[in-house]
Structure formats: structure tokens, C-alpha cells
Amino acid sequence: MLEIKKLKKIFNRGGINQVTAIHSLSAFIRNGDFVTVIGSNGAGKSTLLNLIAGTYLPDSGELLLAGENATRWPEHRRAAYVGRVFQNPLLGTCATMSVEENFALASRRGLRPGFRWGVTNSQRELFREKLKLLGLGLEYRLKDKVGLLSGGQRQSLTLLMATLRRPRLLLLDEHTAALDPKTAEQVLNLTRELIQEMGLTALMVTHNMKHALELGNRLIMMHQGRVILDVDGPTKAHLTIQDLLNEFSKLKGQDLTDDKMLLI
């Protein structure tokens, strides 16, 4: 589904603040893989997701989406394949537009907008059905501006929107990090259900190792722009938090049990 070949991203090239955020990274994500991605702050997780979505273009390397070379595709073109939820709950929706208008935009992800009505009645029915799944009462608030909703409600909305049109690849960047624990748990459950029911291929970045272990069939650990651990199947299923900590300290040759960056 997604093939990354020796991808490299350097920020502020030539400047004093030059950072190599991604070091010649290669990975192959199979169809149906649900990958959780962990790593300390600045490991390059968000940069990797931005490179996949086309928000940034790489300095070198190749990126294949569903077999097509998408390395130079602009962000809006990749949107036909990729659904996204951002860490910032404000980024995924338009505050000044209504719930149904946001949904309508997402329902046409990757399609060229035309002169037809932005929202149709048959769509409204569908949106109501979908919103009922959230159990937040949003199905009665189709006409409300999204700006009136809470961060958790907006993030749940963004998640539904990202999966409204089946994405070939779903990218989730710490999408529960800005929410209170209870809401975060709800959004996480919704994530799990949606991915399972629709059989989606997904990459989920998280700082919560428990979540990283519980969810998905594959786990990738990143450090300083590189993949330092990539496990799947039964190996992943039997992994424990202590294993992860050991793995990390072994690879890096230092004891990290009390590293604040690796919050459990």
C-alpha cells in the first residue's frame, strides 16, 4: 500500500538550524496493516506523516502510494488516497462552517468540486446516521458552526470525516493527545472500531505505549529520524512496555527506564 524508499528530509538546509528530521528511512506498509508509531519528542514522527501526506516534499528518496510514484505529488492530490487526523483538534475542521458543510467537504475528499449544491438532503441523512455512532448528540446539530464544539467533539468529527470516504491510508498523529483522558479513550475506541470495521490501513502516532501495544498489528519505534524497531504479528502481540524500554535502551546503549520522553 505504502512504500517508502530511502526518504530524507532536512529542515533549514544550509542554515545554522539545519536539522535532518528523517534519515534515509525505508519502510513498507502492507494493505490492512494497522501500525502504531512511537518515539521520543523530535524523533520525526510528525515529519514522516507530513511527508506521506505531502505537506512537506522530501529532499531525496521515493514514496509509492498504492503502487504509484507519489513522491512529487502535491498534498491535495494525495488526499484522494490519504485520510488524516491532526494532533491539533482545530486543524481538521473549519470553525466558521457548519457540521454538515464540513462533512460534505470530507465526503468528496479527492474529488474535484463542482457547481452542484455543497450539501444535499440525501447527504444529510447519511451524516446523521454517522454522527449517531458518536453518541455525542451531534446528529441534532448539523447546522451548528463547528467552532461552537469542544476539542473532543471536533476531533471525533475529524476522525469520522477522515473515514467518510474510505481512505486507502489513514494517518493519525497523536490525535488523542490534546483531549482529556475520558474523551481520549472514547476517540481511541472509535478509532479502533472504524479501522477494524472498514479494514483500513493505518498509521497511528502515539506517546502512550499502552495504546501502542494494545492497538494494531504492527509497531514501529522511531529515534532521531530512523526506524529503530519494527515488529508485527505474534511478536508484537506479546510485546510488553518493559520490552519496549529494554529494546530502546539496548539499541541506544543507555538506560531509559525513567526517560520522561517515553511516558507510559
Partner 1 sequence: MSLYILVGAVEQGLVYALMVLGVYLTFRVLDFPDLTVDGSLPLGAAVSGALIVRGMDPFLSLLLAMCAGAAAGCVTALLATRLRIMSLLASIITMTALYSINIRIMGRPNLTLLNQPTVLDALSFIGLPRYLLTPLIFLGIIIGCKVLLDLFLHTQLGTALRATGDNPQMIRSQGVNTDMMVILGVSLSNALVALAGGLVAQSQGFADVGMGIGTIVAGLASVILGESLVGAQTVFRQTLNAICGSLLYRLTIAVALSYRVGFLRLTPSDLNLITAVLVVICLTVPLLRTRLVMWKRAQGD
User: What HEC string does 210-245 produce?
Assistant: HHHHHCCCEEEEEECCEEEEEEEHHHHHCCCHHHHH
Q: Answer for the pair 84, 161: CB distance below 8 angstroms, yes or no.
A: no
If one asks whether residue 82 binds partner 1 (CB under 8 A), the answer comes out as yes
If one asks whether residue 46 binds Mg ion (CB under 5 A), the answer comes out as yes
Amino acid at position 261, single letter = M
If one asks whether residue 201 binds ligand ATP (CB under 6 A), the answer comes out as no
Amino acid at position 12, single letter = N
Q: Which is nearer to partner 1, 9 or 109 (CB)?
A: 109
Grid cell in block for residue 219: 509497531
The CA distance from 11 to 24, in Å, is 14
Instruction: Decide which of Mg ion, ligand ATP, partner 1, none touches 110; Cβ closer than 5 to 8 Å per partner kind.
Output: partner 1
Q: Answer for the pair 206, 35: CB distance below 8 angstroms, yes or no.
A: no
In eight-state DSSP terms, residue 89 is T
If one asks whether residue 104 binds partner 1 (CB under 8 A), the answer comes out as yes
In eight-state DSSP terms, residue 56 is S
Could you tell me the smallest distance in angstroms from the CB atom of residue 223 to partner 1?
A: 27
If one asks whether residue 19 binds ligand ATP (CB under 6 A), the answer comes out as yes
Q: Which of 4, 33, 39, 83 binds ligand ATP (CB under 6 A)?
A: 39
Q: Which is nearer to ligand ATP, 46 or 123 (CB)?
A: 46
- Can you give the binding site for partner 1, defined by CB under 8 A? 53, 55, 74-77, 79-80, 82, 84, 86, 90-97, 101, 104-106, 108-111, 113-119, 145
Q: Which residues sit at the interface with ligand ATP, rule CB under 6 A? A: 11-12, 19, 21, 39, 41-47
